[in-house]
């Protein structure tokens, strides 16, 4: 049976199982915060601001290190014409300390993307979304996409740094958050093509789901995550360098969680992750690949610690860190047979006030010995090495009521 058919069958099975449960909603910050912002006939000033300093001390043997110092500031004005509809518009500003020239291109890690226009001073783009709150646990939006907790994707599939080095996701989104089932389905349209443009149309489709079962008064739970990401390069201007390209990442897994009390819990889980080249073959070096990702995590109040093992073959992560790929991002034509490493992450979330918080982040990548091949050089062997990330993120997100009409 093809991998795609297996995924479709699993999604169908999850939906059938979930529909047999009561639709009682488990309280979550996503819809709690959103519901509070739906004040009838109210105009609000909203500020979404992340100030970040992220230092990536990577060994240059596979991924080059870099530092991200700067801020993203997104002031918006929102209006709620009724209790189900909200319109929000503003501007998103990205600034890196010391930078005064920004490429006007898609801010993502699409390979071989070339920019031919630049913006001085800041990277500035419009920001808009229209939201229909279908129910207290279901919404449909057009425009800029909500991205809560990296769409609940694991670190292999989604790099949290995308918030700081990519444009805000823009397209359409459907979110459903029931007690036993969660779905985040989104479209991120990254590049529009005009006649004569020298780049291709680009978009990403993602679907993240969790089926949840709770036992012993919610002290113990079992979660089945299923995730699919499809990235596409295409358009009608195919007389340019590349033809149509499409790639797939998908994962399925199991997580068990035991809650000692409301402040402390431990989770044990794992995911099997796949990569597939759906069309085209001249950008990524592999046709298909796989990875495994077992992990254990612990949470106490606002402190979270996670330790994981990752092993892969012929694997490409479309939106995740390039540490998890089976090729070198800084040495041309260098491919690795197997990629295995220990991954650890610690984060601390300090709430300063309503809408204000400070986040401390530490990541460690302990890469085991690498064996590979480079065209023109033959076999390559690299000893194990350690890379790490230290980050501080200060979020300022107030919402100020301006007027009730």
d(CA 84, CA 304): 35
Please report the beta strands in 238-338, taking only residues with DSSP state E, as ranges in sequence order: 245-261, 264-279, 288-300, 303-313, 334-336
CA-wise closest residue to 75 among 49, 101, 114, 99:
49
Confidence class for position 190, pLDDT limits 50, 70, 90: confident
**By the 8 A CB rule, do 188 and 206 touch?**
yes
User: Does residue 32 register a pLDDT over 70?
Assistant: no
* Segment holding 221, helix H or strand E: strand 220-234
What six digits make up the tokens of 328? 């070198």
Task: Give the model's confidence band at 281: pLDDT under 50 very low, under 70 low, under 90 confident, else very high.
Answer: low
The string of pLDDT tens digits covering residues 336-394 is 999 999 999 999 999 999 889 999 999 999 999 999 999 888 899 989 999 999 999 99
Q: According to the model, what pLDDT value does residue 239 have?
A: 55
Locus of tokens 């298909």: 288
The stretch 35-59 carries a mean pLDDT of 89
CA distance 209 to 255: 13
| Distances from the Cα of 109 to the Cα of 101, 167, 262, 322, angstroms | 19, 11, 39, 9
- For the segment 151-159, the average pLDDT, to the nearest whole number, is 94
Domains of the chain: 3-404 (2.40.160)
Whether 27 has a pLDDT exceeding 50, the answer reads no
Q: CA-CA distance, 185 to 151, in Å (whole number)?
A: 9
Which one has a higher pLDDT value, 32 or 303?
303
> In the predicted model, what is the mean pLDDT of residues 211-215?
94
Q: Is the pLDDT of residue 127 over 70?
A: yes
Average pLDDT over every residue of 4-22 = 41
The span from the CA of 175 to the CA of 185, in Å, is 6
**Secondary structure (3-state) at 10:** helix
Q: Is 356 exposed, middle or buried (0-12, 13-18, 19+ CB in 10 A)?
A: middle
Q: What is the pLDDT of residues 230-275, one digit of tens each?
A: 998 876 655 556 678 899 999 999 999 999 999 999 999 999 999 9
Give dist(CA 92, CA 334) in Å, integer.
37
**What's the CA gap between 394 and 397, in Å, rounded?**
10
Q: How many whole angstroms separate alpha carbon 22 and alpha carbon 221?
A: 16
Contact predicate 258/219, CB 8 Å: yes
DSSP category for residue 323: G
Say if residue 16's pLDDT is above 50. no
Q: Looking at residue 108, what is its pLDDT?
A: 52
The whole-number pLDDT of residue 149 equals 79
What pLDDT was estimated at residue 21?
Answer: 36
- CA distances 31 to 146, 166, 176, 291, Å, are 11, 25, 10, 33
Pick 287 or 31 by higher pLDDT.
Answer: 287
Length of the chain: 405
Rounded to the nearest integer, the mean pLDDT of the chain is 86
Strands annotated E in 60-200? 66-82, 85-96, 101-103, 118-120, 123-135, 138-144, 170-177, 181-191
How many CB atoms are closer than 10 A to CB 13? 13
pLDDT reported for residue 240: 57
């Amino acid at each position: 049976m093809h991998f795609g058919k297996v995924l479709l069958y699993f999604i169908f099975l999850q939906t059938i199982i979930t529909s047999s449960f009561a639709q009682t909603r488990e309280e979550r910050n996503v819809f709690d915060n959103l519901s509070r912002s739906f004040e009838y006939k109210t105009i609000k000033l909203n500020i979404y601001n992340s100030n970040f300093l992220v230092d990536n001390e990577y060994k240059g043997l596979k991924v080059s290190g870099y530092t991200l110092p700067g801020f993203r500031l997104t002031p918006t004005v929102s209006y709620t014409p009724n209790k189900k509809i909200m319109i929000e518009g503003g501007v998103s500003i990205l600034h890196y300390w010391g930078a005064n020239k920004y490429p006007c291109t898609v801010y993502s890690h699409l390979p071989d993307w070339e920019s031919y226009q630049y913006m001085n001073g800041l990277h500035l783009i419009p920001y808009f979304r229209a939201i229909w709150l279908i129910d207290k646990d279901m919404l449909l939006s057009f425009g800029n996409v909500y991205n809560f907790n990296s769409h609940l994707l694991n670190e292999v599939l989604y790099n949290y740094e995308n918030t700081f080095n990519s444009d805000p996701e823009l397209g359409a989104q459907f979110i459903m958050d029931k007690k036993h089932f969660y779905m985040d389905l989104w479209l991120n349209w990254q590049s529009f093509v005009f006649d004569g443009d020298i780049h291709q149309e680009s978009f990403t489709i993602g679907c993240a789901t969790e089926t949840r079962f709770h036992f012993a008064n919610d002290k113990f739970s079992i979660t089945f995550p299923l995730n699919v990401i499809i990235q596409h390069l295409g358009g009608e201007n195919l007389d340019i360098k590349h033809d149509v390209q499409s790639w797939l990442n998908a994962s399925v897994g199991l997580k068990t969680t035991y809650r000692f009390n409301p402040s402390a819990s431990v989770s044990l889980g794992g995911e099997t992750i796949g990569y597939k080249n759906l069309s085209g073959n001249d950008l990524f070096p592999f046709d298909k690949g796989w990875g495994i990702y077992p992990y254990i995590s612990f949470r106490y109040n606002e402190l979270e610690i996670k330790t994981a093992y990752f092993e892969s073959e012929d694997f490409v992560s479309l939106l995740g860190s390039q540490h998890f790929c089976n090729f070198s991002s800084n040495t041309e034509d260098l491919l690795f047979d197997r990629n295995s490493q220990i991954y650890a992450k610690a984060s601390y979330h300090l709430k300063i006030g309503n809408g204000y918080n400070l986040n401390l982040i530490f990541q460690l990548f302990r890469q085991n010995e690498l064996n590979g091949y480079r065209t023109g050089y033959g076999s390559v062997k690299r000893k194990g090495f350690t890379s790490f990330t230290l980050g501080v993120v200060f979020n300022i997100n107030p919402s100020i009521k301006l007027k009730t009409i």
